[in-house]
Amino acid sequence: MLYSSLVEVFQQFESTTSRIRLTDIVSKLFKGSPINLLPVIIYMLIGKVFPSWDSRKLDVSGSTIFAALKQATGADNPTIIKAFKETGDIGSTAELIYKTKKPIALFSKQLTISDVYNGFVDIARVTGPGSRKKKERILLGLLNSASSSEVKYILRNVIGDMRHGVNEGIVEEAIAKAFQIPVDLVQRSYMIANDLGLVAQVAKNSGITGLKQLKLTIMRPIKPMLAQSVSDIKEALSEIKKPAFEWKLDGARAQIHKQKDKIKIFSRGTEDITQAFPEIVKSLKEGIVANEAILEGEIVAIDPLNSKPRPFQFVLRRFRRKYSVSELEKIIPVKLYLFDLLYLNRNSFLNKPFTERRNTLEKIIVQNPKIELTKLVITNEISVAQTMFNEAIEIGHEGLMIKDPNASYIPGIRGKKMLKVKAALETLDLAVIEADYGYGRKHKWLSSYALVAMDETSGKLVAVGRVFTGLSDEELEEITKKLKEIAIQEIGRSVIVRPEIVLEVGFGEIQKSPVYDSGFALRFPRIIAIREDLSLEDIDSLQKIKELYKRQTKAQSGAINQIKTP
């Protein structure tokens, strides 16, 4: 199947913003695609190369892209920079240059989808010394064979930003339409498999029957079930009549997979973080009484002097592994708090109620100094829950989780079956798309960051403001290095980057704003943490910002009315 046929579909996307029309186009594409190419096509559609559970990455820097583009076309730096300033997009930049400057080497062989995908696989395979030049040569090979329209989307895939509005939700709907499958079954299948390409293949090959047979797979992480925020315990009890209350821990979400003596630990973003926590792995081997299991918990940093929990940033330092792991074990000891069971000895527990999952979890865990079950109380009494909340805060935790005892586990969904209430103000997880160098003492660091959220309706990133406070000098140096590694282009004092770094951001309030395309801006934003455990898929949505704004406005209105009341 020629790559140009996929490009023609991409071009159709750019002439419409209708979700129904986009779904129709994608559905038609899936119907006519060979079954072996469906996964590749799907991930190219949404700006990826591999499913999220796959650890392979392209890791192609902006400088590598521009070097390959220069060699392919003979264009000089001023020409490329001028084109980038005009378009603001590396793909459109390449297309513009290809139209005005004939490529130096243009092979007669037309690119196939497999050619492009195999090129990406080869790029991901290259690591170690000299890898940048090797990646550049492979990319150059693709560019030399590509037309002006093809190179546009090849480079957009490389940076992971397709800019055409087709997101996972549209792909799910298109799979359902193409193969006459109920969309809720497609969504459920994706939650279980964590691989849209596999879901599409099964849907095309085996239909409803095949999708219903999809099961959790050991050592392939799934997206975690997420919680909605509530303002207080009273609001929580209005949503869930007699909930299970647990301490909300200030740590890193962890999904643990055990198969015989093999243990894998995955982050909330499904990244393999096993090597960062060898002491937890050892304790899990001794503490899980089961042959196969998938568990959920939270890894919390512990103060060695008083055994109290440390702030979340300490756990993230274990992710970064700046020192040897054995040294970090002593500097930042951690503890795993377990709270859920998803799979046990070839049986999925996703559809079982929370209380059954929890009760079974308690039976298979032998607690030890490194592993403990979270405290849990089922009650509908505000006073009991408030006492538990106060206790959690006093110890050093964030607040409470509130769970429906009868709820099944729904991967990747933020619903009202699981809520959270925190003592601290709400924060947002946002991606960085641009950074500026600072002034004075900070002149050598990228210290001001443009932030984006995800518009779930359009599937596009939308700007919500900038942030420039909250990081230490050490963190500024570290994030500057990371931003340079994912830079697309430097323009003056600004650096355009791939949206891969996620910041947890606190703020004074949310304001309506005509300046940003989200329609909102954060007032007095400050960086709480660099979220090493999150990826672009995990950032907060525009819909959440709208909900927080609505809640904030309601609270402000109530306060004004109290003042007016004599």
Token pair 């549209």 is found at 170
Give one word for 304, left, alpha or beta, with left for phi > 0 and alpha for psi -120 to 50: alpha
Angle formed at CA 49 by CA 43 and CA 54, multiple of 5 degrees: 105
DSSP annotation of 365: B
Q: 245: closest CA among 361, 441, 382?
A: 382
Contacts of residue 71, Cβ cutoff 8 Å, sequence gap at least 6: 104, 136, 140
Contact (Cβ atoms closer than 8 angstroms) between residue 195 and residue 53: yes
* Distance in angstroms (rounded) separating the CA atoms of residues 430 and 64: 26
What is the 3-state composition of the chain as percent helix, strand, coil, each rounded to the nearest 5?
45, 25, 35
d(CA 475, CA 459): 31
d(CA 250, CA 10): 42
Amino acid at 428: L
Nearest to 521 by CA among 465, 467, 466: 465
Token digits for 205? 């090959």
3-state secondary structure of 176: helix
**322 classed as catalytic:** no
For the CA atoms of 380, 382, 384, 386, the dihedral, rounded to the nearest 10 degrees, stands at 140
**Of these residues, 177, 204, 248, 460, which one is catalytic?**
248
Helix (H, G, I), strand (E, B) or coil at 187: helix
Query: Would you say 98 and 91 are in contact if contact means Cβ atoms under 8 Å apart?
Result: no
Helix or strand (DSSP H, E) at 8: helix 3-13
254 sits in which H/E element: strand 252-259
CA dist., res. 349 & res. 292, Å (int): 12
- The candidate with the shortest Cα–Cα distance to 255, out of 336, 312, 330, 323, is 336
* CA nearest to 94, candidates 489, 491, 497: 489
Cα angle, residue 187 at apex, residues 185 and 190 outer, rounded to 5°: 110
The tokens 């996929």 sit on which residue? 6
Query: And the tokens for 521?
Result: 């801006």
CA distance 247 to 48: 36
Nearest to 412 by CA among 270, 201, 554, 557: 270
Residues with Cβ within 8 Å of residue 306, at least 6 apart in sequence = none
Whether the CB-CB separation of 407 and 353 falls below 8 Å is answered with yes
SS3 for 133-145 is: HHHHHHHHHHHHH
Residues belonging to the active site: 248
